[in-house]
Every structure is written in structure tokens, then in C-alpha cells.
């Protein structure tokens, strides 16, 4: 049984989920992400691509270790900072443990072969108008949308 909303969306246009739509806080968060990427490239001369920063620690080179751990440390500490301002970071994670393992493997392997993820390609690469990053971003977005669509058919 195929999901008919897919067809109605094509015919009548997309259905917006207004109840969850948060344009302004999402835009503000995006500005902060941009500022953080600006800080890393202007201060350290490095691209803020999370998968690349993490993956680089698996083949450590001299002078390329400290800043990587420091950046990841900042990511890990961010929830504690938010807690000081009364915001708890504990979102609901619906995926089962098995799904998380498969998804994690796919993300680790995919970002390694694809040389980047949402931050490195989607934010920094598109900011640099890199053709590789534009193609990569289109590829993972379309693959993500197709996956969610197919998942909705079976789950």
C-alpha cells in the first residue's frame, strides 16, 4: 500500500507542518553555526567540518591533534552550557539500537568516502560555492528524503 500523501503532495504541493515550524530560532541557530565556522577558519585556518575533524583523529598527524580535540570538546560541552541557561538537551530518539548502529556505520563510512557531512559540505562548502560540496549536499539531502519516504512505507 503506497503512501498516498506522496502523490497528493506532488499534485497539490507540499504539506507544511506548521505546528513544528520554527523559522526564527532555526535561523538564529544557523547564524551561530555560521559564526562558529567563521571563528574556526579565521582564527585557526581550518574548515568546520565535523566528520573531517573527527576522522582526522584516526590518522593523527603532528600539530593536527590538539585543535581537533578542542573543537570536539566544545561540541560536547555545549549541552552543559545550555543547562546553565535552563535549557535541557535531551531530545527524544525514536530509532532503535539496531537502527542507530546501522545508521551510525552508514554515516561514518559515507562521510569518509564523501569527504564531509552537513557542516563541511552543507555549510562551509556551500559558503565557499564549491561545486563538490553543492553536489554532495544535493546527494545526501535527496538520499535522506528518499530514506525517510521509504521508511514511512514500512514502519
Partner 1 sequence: MSALGAFLAGLVFGVGLILSGMTDPGKVIGFLDIAGRWDPSLAFVMAGAILVGFFAFRLAGLRARGFLGGAMELPRRRDLDARLIGGSIVFGIGWGLAGFCPGPALVCFGSGQDKAAVFVAAMLVGMLAYTIAERTRGASAAA
The interface with partner 1 within residues 89-128 (CB under 8 A) comprises 89-95, 97, 99-115, 117-119, 121-128
- Kindly state the cell numbers that stand for 89: 538537551
Distance of closest approach, residue 63 Cβ to partner 1, in angstroms:
8
Q: Per rule CB under 8 A, is residue 44 in the interface with partner 1?
A: yes
> CB 96 → partner 1: shortest distance, Å?
9
Residues ≥6 apart with Cβ < 8 Å to 55: 111, 112
Decide whether 1 or 16 has the Cβ nearer to partner 1. Answer: 16
Query: Cβ contacts of residue 68 below 8 Å, gap of 6+?
Result: 53, 54, 56, 57
Footprint on residues 16-35 left by partner 1 (CB under 8 A): 16-17, 20-35
Q: Binding to partner 1 by residue 60, rule CB under 8 A? A: no
What's the burial of 30, exposed, middle or buried (CB within 10 Å: 0-12/13-18/19+)?
Answer: exposed
Task: Say whether 153 sits in a helix, a strand or coil.
Answer: helix
Which residue among 62, 81, 84, 86 contacts partner 1 (CB under 8 A)?
81
Residue number with CB closer to partner 1 (1 or 125): 125
Amino acid at each position: 500500500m503506497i503512501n498516498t500523501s506522496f502523490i497528493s503532495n506532488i499534485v497539490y504541493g507540499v504539506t507544511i507542518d506548521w505546528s513544528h515550524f520554527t523559522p526564527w530560532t532555526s535561523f538564529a541557530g544557523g547564524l551561530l553555526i555560521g559564526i562558529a565556522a567563521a571563528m574556526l577558519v579565521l582564527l585557526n585556518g581550518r574548515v568546520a567540518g565535523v566528520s573531517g575533524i573527527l576522522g582526522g583523529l584516526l590518522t593523527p598527524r603532528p600539530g593536527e591533534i590538539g585543535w581537533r580535540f578542542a573543537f570536539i570538546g566544545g561540541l560536547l560541552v555545549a549541552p552543559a552550557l545550555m543547562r546553565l541557561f535552563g535549557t535541557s538537551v535531551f531530545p527524544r530518539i525514536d530509532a532503535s539500537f539496531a537502527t542507530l548502529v546501522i545508521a551510525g556505520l552508514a554515516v561514518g563510512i559515507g562521510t569518509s568516502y564523501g569527504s564531509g557531512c552537513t557542516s563541511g559540505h552543507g555549510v562551509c562548502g556551500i559558503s565557499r560555492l564549491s561545486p563538490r560540496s553543492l553536489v554532495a549536499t544535493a546527494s545526501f539531502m535527496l538520499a535522506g528524503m528518499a530514506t525517510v519516504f521509504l521508511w514511512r512505507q514500512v514502519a
